[in-house]
Structure 1
Amino acid sequence: MPHNKFKRIDTTVLSERFRVVTEQPQNEIYISDLLNEIHLRNVIERIKPNFATDRDFVIGSQLIKRLGFLLVVPSLYTFSTDRITMSLDWSRTALVPKVKDGLWLPDLYLKNVVGEDCSDALEEKREAYFEQLFQQLAELVQAISQATAVPRPILWENIVVYIYWIYETVVDWHHDTTIMNQFYEDFNVLIHQLSPEVFGERFNPIQRFYNGYHYIAPEQTFRRVRTTCCFNFEASSDEKYCNGCPQLAVNKEACRATHEAIRQQTNSYSL
């Protein structure tokens, strides 16, 4: 019996948890249009009233955060759970502007909900899919960096924090050993096997920003602290910091304590 190459993607979880919609919207912004500088600048002006700043620098950072969540999370989640690749035809994939609880949180419109079944030739198809996904993301990173003057490392970390979330947190939604192992295998490939050239950089950002957790003493918890700042506190009227913001006082102190502990441990090894 021939292997069925294409399968319909189950969008239940994607719709409930990852803001994916499949009904034709009215005011969509196609992802491919963001690669055009004129269209991109128009979009930045269009969404600017939703933020507590008029600085393109901050808007660019916030835009890539939304894009990172919507383009990366559903794609990698679908692949790691079902071994199905979502379409990367961004002329058929769009942002749908939406404000929720005062925050600009767009949905992702998918015109095509059929993907390729990668169960056969998994390693080859996985590598090809991951490379295509991040090569296309690299084009968005480059376009937004040029239009808003945000350094590319900031934009990349805005994306990769969601990858860590998928493979460190979302994986716990599943208790099936097979699926959990698929998550672990894919994460290993993303961190260790994708070359810097895929990202158009001299480094693999998924690997570069994969720092350990820091102990936050006042809260008695461990937290991943970012290397760069996304400037969310400038974008929100209440000046809200992200939990992992490197400019947050408790995070700064936690980082200092961690680095001091590592230094002391290193010194003890050298005695």
Structure 2
Amino acid sequence: MDSKIDQLRSLRLTTEKMHSKLSIEVRHLLDEQHMIDYLDSIRQRVGAANERVAASLFIKRYAFLPVIYMYAMTSWNKKLNLSFENISIETDDSKELWLPNFRFYNLEMESLQGNREKWRTTCIELLYKEHVTPILESISRITKVSKLVLWENIAVYIFWLYEKVLLEENFAKEDFHFIISQAPGNLFGDYTVNPLSRFYKEELGNEPGRRSTCCYSYLTEKSQYCSTCPRCFNR
């Protein structure tokens, strides 16, 4: 288990509790007022122009939770416990950039049993429909930020995981193909179309690629555009 934890640390897993205004148990983010307060703390921390910018940046950071989960699924045929009560966001205030880590209270992983394709479908549904979508929809409702922006913030890191990190893993190609081409929309929530697949531009190999939406990073105190920002291409 220790070797697996060490591998996940590079994907922003932590086993340490950190005392910070931006450290929070994920279950609290299901409460609207807690979410409002947390997004306001992010806005102040990163110098965001408004709550929409803070919301977008939060989901860009939160995307590493799906990255951790899917790394374990594809590399080890293991499923992490993604219950809201099992996870906290941990922030090290001594760091200049806000790059939070994720701590699991119970890090035991459930091993694949039975048919892998059925198991994978269950894993994807548990991740997106049961965990990511409630967080994402709450943020969109509170801040009015487009769900397209939020989903693309997640998509770019999932693409990175499978195209850069997991290239040599046995199930990487078929898992990635399933996620971007075969997984139906209902595995992600109340969707008729898979919300990740629309952002994958296979004819470009997804690189250099450009985003379809702007994540608003230029509206933080750093005032920097992402290299794939559509605003850069349209200026």
TM-score relative to the length of structure 2 = 0.90
Amino acid at match of 1:244: T
**Residue 114 of structure 2 aligns with which residue?**
120
Amino acid at match of 2:83: D
Distance 2:202 2:153 in 1: 17
The partner residue of 1:129 within 123, 126, 136 is 123
Distance 2:119 2:3 in 1: 17
Structure 1 or 2: more strand by fraction: 1
**Residue 36 of structure 1 aligns with which residue?**
31
Q: Is the 8 A contact 1:226 1:244 kept in 2?
A: yes
Q: How big is the shift at 1:213? A: 6.6
Matched, 1:238 2:226: no
Greater C-alpha Rg: 1
Q: Is the 8 A contact 1:21 1:108 kept in 2?
A: yes
Size of the aligned set, in residue pairs, is 230
Per-residue CA distance 1:177-216 (angstroms, 9 max, x = gap): xx2x30011111111222112222232122111124769x
**Residue 57 of structure 2 aligns with which residue?**
62
Per-residue CA distance 1:208-239 (angstroms, 9 max, x = gap): 11124769xxxxxx51210011000112x231
**Residue 79 of structure 2 aligns with which residue?**
85
**Residue 147 of structure 2 aligns with which residue?**
152
Q: How big is the shift at 1:101? A: 5.2
Q: How big is the shift at 1:252? A: 3.9
The partner residue of 1:198 within 174, 187, 208 is 187
The partner residue of 1:223 within 208, 216, 227 is 208
Q: Is the 8 A contact 1:30 1:91 kept in 2?
A: yes
Distance 1:165 1:99 in 2: 27
Aligned-pair identity in percent equals: 29
Question: Alpha carbon RMSD of aligned pairs, Å?
Answer: 2.1
Task: Point out where structure 2 has 5 or more consecutive residues left out of the alignment.
Answer: none
Distance 1:152 1:226 in 2: 14
Task: Point out where structure 1 has 5 or more consecutive residues left out of the alignment.
Answer: 1-6, 216-221, 254-271
Matched, 1:19 2:12: yes
Distance 1:234 1:94 in 2: 27
Relative to structure 2, which stretch is displaced further, 44-53 or 99-108?
A: 99-108
Per-residue CA distance 1:16-49 (angstroms, 9 max, x = gap): x112112344443112221210110111122222
Amino acid at match of 2:162: Y
